[in-house]
Amino acid sequence: MSEAYASASGQAAPPDAERVDIGGLTWWVPRDARTEGQLAHRLVSEKRLPFVDLLRTREVISNGTMLDVGANVGLTSVTRAVLGDVDVVYAAEPAPDNFACLVRTILDNGLRGVVLPDHVAISDHDGSATLRLSGSIGGHALIAGATGIDVPTMRLDTWVRTRHIDVDAVRYVKIDTQGHEAHVFAGAPELLARPGVVWELEFSPRHLQKAGREPAALIAHMQSVFTHFIDLNRKVGGARVRPVAELDDALRYIDPDGKTDVLLYSA
């Protein structure tokens, strides 16, 4: 258990957070603009859990340990834990209100010891960084030189080591960090080199460039590590599983404001 989790376990959810019951589970959602289509609106107004998205990746889940990098309020972590897709989830979330709500959701659903949250941003260095807060709980981002709040950072390899995560049990890594995905990869050479781990990440050229990284460089990094990929965009035709050499051409359809989620692994 991280120190941040131990401290937050004895505290209530943020005073302006909203409690929502969905699918027999209790969820805590921080206050934001509640813009239609955004994460909080989908939870509070539509009461929608990401079952379709999870089903599209379930074929590569093989129990074991999951790392949720950019866990937000736990939509992926908590839902996968309840479905029994994983044995344990280590969930990193840097935004204070998101983290506080994640902790309350874990405890209120009896998931202590199954979902283990930590208040940290996974990046390419150990130290701290500025988190720019958004009007949406899903839009907070690490942006150098931006106005925001200071949050602790760790390289993914450092986080795994200092939190005593059994690296041999890690089977699945999910990264959704609003453009910081290339930084996460840069801080994870040891974990990236391990066989038998499936990685899922959001690929958004616009967010990557805002974070100071070029999409082509991230694609090249992925091609140097993995052998195959699956584009999780349901509207994309063609073969579902493709060699990673085709990744560059496969993602050219993404317009400047578009994005997709990609599964990566080595056969």
Check residue 121 and give its pLDDT.
98
**For residue 44, pLDDT beyond 80:** yes
Mean pLDDT of 55-59: 89
Rounded Cα–Cα distance for residues 215 and 60 (Å): 25
254: which 2 tokens?
């993404």
pLDDT digits (tens, 9 = 90+) for 89-108: 999 999 999 999 999 999 99
pLDDT digits (tens, 9 = 90+) for 212-264: 999 999 999 999 999 999 999 988 888 899 999 999 999 999 998 899 999 99
Percent of the chain clearing pLDDT 90 (strictly above): 80
* 30-46 exposure pattern, b = at least 16 Cβ within 10 A, e = fewer: bebebeeebbbbbbbee
CA distances from 137 to 34, 78, 141 (A): 9, 17, 10
Check residue 33 and give its pLDDT.
85
The domain spanning residue 167 has which CATH number? 3.40.50.150
255: which 2 tokens?
């317009």
CB 50 within 8 A of CB 39: no
**For residue 2, pLDDT beyond 90:** no
DSSP at 239: -
Q: Which residue has the tokens 């694609």?
A: 219
DSSP at 146: -
Percent of the chain clearing pLDDT 70 (strictly above): 100
Q: How many domains does the chain have?
A: 1
Cβ neighbors of 40 (< 8 A, separation 6 or more) are 29, 30, 32, 34, 136, 137, 138
Domain span holding position 185? 3-265
Give the 3-state secondary structure of residue 81: helix
**For residue 113, pLDDT beyond 90:** yes
Check residue 237 and give its pLDDT.
83
Cβ neighbors of 253 (< 8 A, separation 6 or more) are 236
- Give the residue from 140, 110, 118, 21 showing the smallest Cα distance to 68: 118
Check residue 122 and give its pLDDT.
98
Amino acid at 186: A
- Give the residue from 41, 107, 95, 43 showing the smallest Cα distance to 71: 95
Mean pLDDT of 139-154: 92
Check residue 225 and give its pLDDT.
97
Rounded Cα–Cα distance for residues 221 and 242 (Å): 17
Worst-scoring range by mean pLDDT, 41-45, 112-116, 205-209? 41-45
pLDDT digits (tens, 9 = 90+) for 167-208: 999 999 999 999 999 999 999 999 999 999 999 999 999 999
Cα dihedral across residues 142, 53, 99, 36: positive or negative: positive
